[in-house]
Amino acid sequence: MSDLVLVDRPADDVARLTLNRPEKKNALSIQLRDEVSDALDALGADESVKVVIVTGAGDTFSAGFDLKEFDGLGDAAYAKRLWDSANRFHRVFIEFPLPLVAAVNGAALAGGFDVAVMCDIRIAADTARFAHPEQTFSDVLYGPLYDLVGGAVARDLCFTGRPLDVAEAYRLGFVSRVVPGHDLEAAALETAGQIVRAPRDVLVRTKAKAAHRAGLIEGNALDL
């Protein structure tokens, strides 16, 4: 694994996965997506892990997929690699067997918005914002967002691409807490600490129930 994805253990039973491409606003390149997928596969199988915090390096959570990589879609083999990577990335998040806590340290746009959506709990810095600007040229990951905020809000955000500021995100219940940026790490660790009080097998069963209730495991909400 390169340094595009950092994995550390900030507390007992807690792993943290950091998107580490700050010079590109943590844009989700093929390599970055594949390394995240590999890391989550390993963490999900690690019996010493009960919860994973997902965050971004720098001042951006993630600006979404690396659009420069879409220039090569005319090559069939390359296009297959790109879409296979994207599909696996989404599937690994959706089917991750343990709680995922997003520590949203800044803008979460397009595919970065999706990453926050695919986590179970979102703790946000007061600089966070969310949007689907790709709605002008691509469909978006609708089902998991619908599960969190309901159809009316999900359709609004997906059809218009309008920004969702952190105050509205909190009011809608999309984020659980809003804290100053310098307090984000501590807040995410506090939430993780509350989670790890439960046995790992209980967390796995509860996560499975939540995903099943949302219709996510069956694939109804992905339509990739």
Q: Which residue numbers are catalytic?
A: 134
- Rounded CA gap, 68 and 56, in Å? 20
Sign of the Cα torsion 115, 133, 147, 153 reads positive
What totals of helices (H) and strands (E) does the chain contain, helices first?
A: 8, 10
- Rounded CA gap, 10 and 160, in Å? 38
How many beta carbons lie within 10 A of that of residue 34, not counting itself?
18
- Rounded CA gap, 180 and 105, in Å? 9
